[in-house]
């Protein structure tokens, strides 16, 4: 449903984030490039420490600097480079043109203000609405995200809501100013499966209704399979594979993606006698990458993998992979 | 493999287990109600098997696991471990039984003392419960570290120097120290990354084979439980709603809650996602301090009937080895 002609709303080039720590630098994000098309849902998968959250935080200036240093770019959004934009300009983008939903709705909501106040806040700050209009709009928003009896619940406080309902409130806040892009960072990880299913349905529904583009960060391949149009797989601070969702699951190219798909047990279909294991630990990113970050855990690694960091190469119309190995021939690509 | 489960020896037998936590309020801290965390639960665990307990947060699965080990004083019910009734036993007597039953906790960061070295952590149960000499103890510690795949050189390091998966291995080694028969694993993989989860689950399986262990495996991850458990109990709001052998439960779930729970699990296959016919439950889990009248699930059940709002369904065996607490199956019984 999305073709090459759909315009990009967000275009990220060579984003790199380094953190200074007492024991040396941590290269959390390395040369990450991707684009986001209007109305699409882009999934970002990876383990903890793979750089998926830091990437998204970096591009809208939400990583504290110092210790972080964000370089590279540009990150083009609505005609301006977010990396060179002033704080003033960024503040107009954040929460208004780009909305956020974080993992834990209890820690992202302020416990001492009513939910209504918090939904009204962006409306009053960014849209300049007065109290009455903002309140009416807040009620509409809570209705939209499926909170029953919205008018009465505006005056309730976050602790009076359940986890799933709190996440709905967060979504309402993120949607308040009708954003172009919504970044959802593990929005269902803290929720139970039955509530997760509700939130996923809600997000799909809202995306169709409002037509915004969504970046959905998760570690759960099952969630990605159900919701994403395109997927970025991240490992060791880099994008190792990028493909449309069906392509990725039907024809994974990177050894990490392939292994990841095999380690996850399923509730339906065949039950494996024994789980496949990816041996070893994810890398600690002490130095700028000069080799493939996955080489120590990769069953196909050969010498070139530890000499050189593979660049992303196209293997299909919109499918690229950062790996020298070719799963079809079993051979490594030419030096 | 466990078809003849009725003839197998029961290692753990739980009947009518209730665990209520009092709610006290007001100036005089008067008892104003109870959180019914576990409300009349019965099950058996056979020697050498893994019983999986699944459910959403707040359903009482962890409380159930802790109550079985008598980490709480029970409100009601009996728990037999290895033929001994531990439900009303005093702390002194209980202490002598502890080596038989151990626990692996969810958060390996929180359950390891940051000021103790790995050898001290794994050796602590040996100090408490055995009279081994220092050298023998160290030999045993090394043996345990080998068993769980930790390098012997790490013995003098501290927990913060290890990754999540390694810390979980330390927790497992500690649980194994006294040659237990029965281990309660409370969400042992929930805090770990996907690629590390498989490592820990495989380790638990290997250890089970090697030492003939019996597990009570508590988890909210239905796909992992399908992998590791022989039989599975599904809990909802303090009660077991369904208990069955793994294959039967996943292939043909009987209770409407089990059906909804399984259909809510996102499947790592985009094609199946588009064609799947999902049951999406409405609403939230009610509070265990004020459960609904009748069946606990009646507020969210897509198939709720009149009787469900009046009468709590009985937990009964509908097929050999298969227990369900639902009026749908009582009706079938009387109609047929």
User: One digit per residue, pLDDT tens: chain B, 336 residues?
Assistant: 444 545 689 999 999 999 999 988 877 888 888 889 999 999 999 999 999 999 988 889 999 999 999 999 999 999 999 999 999 999 999 999 999 999 998 887 888 999 999 999 999 999 999 999 999 999 999 999 999 989 898 999 999 888 888 899 999 999 999 999 999 999 998 888 888 888 899 999 999 999 999 999 999 889 899 999 999 999 999 999 999 999 999 999 999 999 999 988 888 887 777 766 777 888 788 888 888 899 999 999 999 899 999 999 999 999 998 999 999 887 554 443
Q: Which residues pair with A242 in a beta bridge?
A: A232, A320
Q: How far is A131 from chain B (nearest CA, A)?
A: 31
Look up the pTM and report it: 0.84
Terminal Cα-to-Cα distance of chain B (whole angstroms): 31
**Cβ B281–A197 below 8 Å, yes or no?**
yes
Report the C-alpha gap between A297 and A259 in whole angstroms. Answer: 10
What number is the ipTM of this complex? 0.77
**Cβ A281–B165 below 8 Å, yes or no?**
yes
| Predicted pLDDT at A303 | 87
A283-309 burial, b for 16+ CB within 10 Å, e for fewer?
A: bebeeebebbbbbebbebbeebbeeeb
Interface of B with A in 131-170 (CB under 8 A): 163, 165
Q: Which of A153, A162, A76 is nearest to A116 (CA)?
A: A153
Please report, rounded to a whole number, the percentage of residues in chain A having pLDDT higher than 90. 33
Tens digit of each residue's pLDDT (9 = 90 or more) over A141-157: 998 888 888 888 899 99
Report the C-alpha gap between B60 and B65 in whole angstroms. Answer: 9
On chain A, the residues whose CB falls within 8 A of the CB of B269 are 225, 249
Q: Which residues pair with B233 in a beta bridge?
A: B53, B243
**Cβ A277–B273 below 8 Å, yes or no?**
no
Average pLDDT, chain A: 87
| Predicted pLDDT at B122 | 94
In this structure, are residues A287 and A27 in contact, taking their beta carbons and an 8 Å threshold?
yes
Q: How far is B223 from chain A (nearest CA, A)?
A: 5
On chain A, the residues whose CB falls within 8 A of the CB of B163 are 281
Q: Which of A51, A194, A255 to mutate to test the interface with B (most CBs of B within 10 A)?
A: A194
**Cβ B202–A277 below 8 Å, yes or no?**
yes
Helix pair B118-129, B164-176: axis angle to 10 deg: 20
**Cβ A267–B223 below 8 Å, yes or no?**
yes
On chain B, the residues whose CB falls within 8 A of the CB of A193 are 56, 220, 222, 261, 264-265
On chain B, the residues whose CB falls within 8 A of the CB of A281 are 163, 165, 196
Q: How far is B268 from chain A (nearest CA, A)?
A: 4
| A330 pLDDT higher than 80 | no
Q: Which of B195, B227, B263 to mutate to test the interface with A (most CBs of A within 10 A)?
A: B195
Interface of A with B in 274-313 (CB under 8 A): 274-279, 281-282
Closest to A267 (Cβ–Cβ): which among B193, B222, B260?
Answer: B222
Q: How far is A309 from chain B (nearest CA, A)?
A: 22
Report the C-alpha gap between B26 and B33 in whole angstroms. Answer: 12
Interface of A with B in 36-65 (CB under 8 A): 47-48
Report the C-alpha gap between A130 and A148 in whole angstroms. Answer: 25
pLDDT band at A1 (very low <50, low <70, confident <90, very high): very low
Does A246 reach chain B within 8 Å, measured CB to CB?
A: yes
**Cβ A226–B266 below 8 Å, yes or no?**
yes
Q: Which of A232, A218, A166 is nearest to A195 (CA)?
A: A166
Q: Which of B203, B270, B274 to mutate to test the interface with A (most CBs of A within 10 A)?
A: B270
pLDDT band at A260 (very low <50, low <70, confident <90, very high): confident
Mean pLDDT of A221-240: 92
Strands B101-104 and B182-186: parallel
Other CB atoms closer than 10 Å to residue B277's CB: what's the count? 5
**Cβ B193–A267 below 8 Å, yes or no?**
no
Helix pair B164-176, B194-211: axis angle to 10 deg: 20
| Predicted pLDDT at A329 | 73
Measured in degrees and rounded to the nearest 5, phi and psi for residue A35 equal -130, 160
SS3 A164: helix
């Amino acid at each position: 449903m999305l073709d090459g002609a759909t315009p990009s709303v967000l275009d990220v080039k060579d984003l790199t984030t380094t953190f200074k720590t007492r024991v040396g630098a941590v290269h959390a994000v390395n040369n990450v490039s991707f684009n986001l098309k209007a109305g699409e849902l882009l999934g970002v998968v990876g383990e903890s420490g793979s750089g998926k959250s830091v990437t998204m935080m970096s591009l809208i200036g939400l990583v504290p600097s110092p210790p972080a240093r964000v370089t590279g770019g540009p990150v083009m959004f609505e005609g301006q480079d977010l990396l060179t934009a002033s704080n003033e300009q960024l503040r107009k983008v954040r929460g208004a043109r780009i909305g956020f939903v974080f993992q834990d709705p209890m820690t992202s909501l302020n416990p001492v203000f009513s939910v209504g106040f918090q939904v009204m806040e962006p409306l009053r700050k960014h849209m300049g609405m007065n109290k009455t209009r903002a309140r009416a709009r807040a009620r509409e928003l809570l209705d939209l995200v499926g909170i029953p009896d919205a008018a009465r619940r505006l005056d309730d406080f976050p602790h009076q809501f359940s986890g799933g309902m709190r996440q709905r409130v967060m979504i309402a806040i993120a949607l308040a100013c009708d954003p172009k892009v919504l970044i959802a960072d593990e929005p269902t990880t803290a929720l139970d499966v039955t509530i997760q299913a509700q939130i996923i349905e809600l997000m799909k529904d809202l995306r169709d209704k409002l037509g915004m583009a969504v970046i959905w960060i998760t570690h759960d391949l099952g969630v990605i399979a159900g919701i994403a149009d395109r997927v970025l797989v991240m490992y060791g601070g880099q994008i190792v594979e990028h493909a449309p969702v069906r392509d990725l699951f039907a024809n994974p190219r990177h050894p990490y993606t392939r292994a990841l798909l095999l380690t996850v047990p399923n509730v339906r279909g065949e039950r494996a006698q024994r789980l496949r294991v990816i041996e070893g630990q994810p890398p600690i990113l002490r130095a700028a990458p000069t080799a493939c970050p996955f080489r120590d855990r990769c069953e196909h690694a050969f010498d070139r993998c530890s000499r050189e960091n593979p660049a992303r190469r196209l293997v299909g119309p919109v499918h690229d992979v950062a790996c020298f190995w070719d799963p079809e021939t079993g051979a490594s690509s030419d030096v | 493999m466990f078809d003849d489960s009725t003839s197998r020896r029961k290692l753990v037998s739980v009947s009518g287990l209730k665990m209520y936590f009092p709610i006290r309020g007001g100036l005089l801290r008067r008892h104003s109600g109870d959180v019914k965390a576990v409300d009349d639960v019965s099950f058996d665990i056979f020697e050498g098997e893994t019983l999986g307990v699944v459910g959403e947060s707040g359903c009482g699965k962890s409380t159930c696991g802790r109550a079985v080990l008598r980490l709480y004083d029970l409100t009601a019910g009996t728990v037999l471990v290895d033929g001994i009734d531990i439900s009303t036993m005093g702390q002194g007597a209980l202490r002598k039984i502890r080596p038989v039953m151990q626990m692996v906790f969810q958060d390996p960061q929180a359950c390891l003392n940051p000021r103790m070295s790995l050898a001290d952590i794994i050796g602590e149960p040996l100090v408490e419960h055995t009279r081994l000499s220092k050298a023998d103890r160290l030999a045993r510690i090394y043996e345990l570290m080998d068993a769980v795949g930790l390098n012997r050189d790490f013995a003098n390091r501290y927990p913060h120097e290890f990754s999540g998966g390694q810390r979980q291995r330390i927790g497992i080694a500690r649980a194994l120290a006294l040659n237990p028969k029965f281990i309660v694993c409370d969400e042992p993989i929930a805090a770990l990354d996907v690629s590390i989860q498989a490592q820990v689950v495989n380790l638990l399986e290997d250890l089970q084979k090697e030492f003939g262990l019996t597990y009570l495996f508590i988890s909210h991850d239905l796909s992992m439980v399908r992998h590791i458990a022989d039989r599975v109990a599904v809990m909802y709001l303090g009660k077991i709603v369904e208990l069955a052998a793994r294959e039967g439960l996943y292939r043909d779930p009987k209770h409407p809650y089990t059906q909804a729970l399984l259909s809510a699990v996102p499947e790592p296959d985009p094609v199946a996602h588009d064609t799947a016919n999902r049951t999406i439950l409405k609403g939230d889990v009610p509070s265990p301090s004020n459960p609904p009248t009748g069946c606990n699930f009646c507020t969210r059940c897509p198939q709720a009937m009149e009787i469900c709002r009046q009468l709590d369904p009985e937990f009964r065996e509908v097929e050999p080895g298969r227990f369900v607490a639902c009026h749908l199956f009582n009706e079938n019984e009387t109609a047929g």
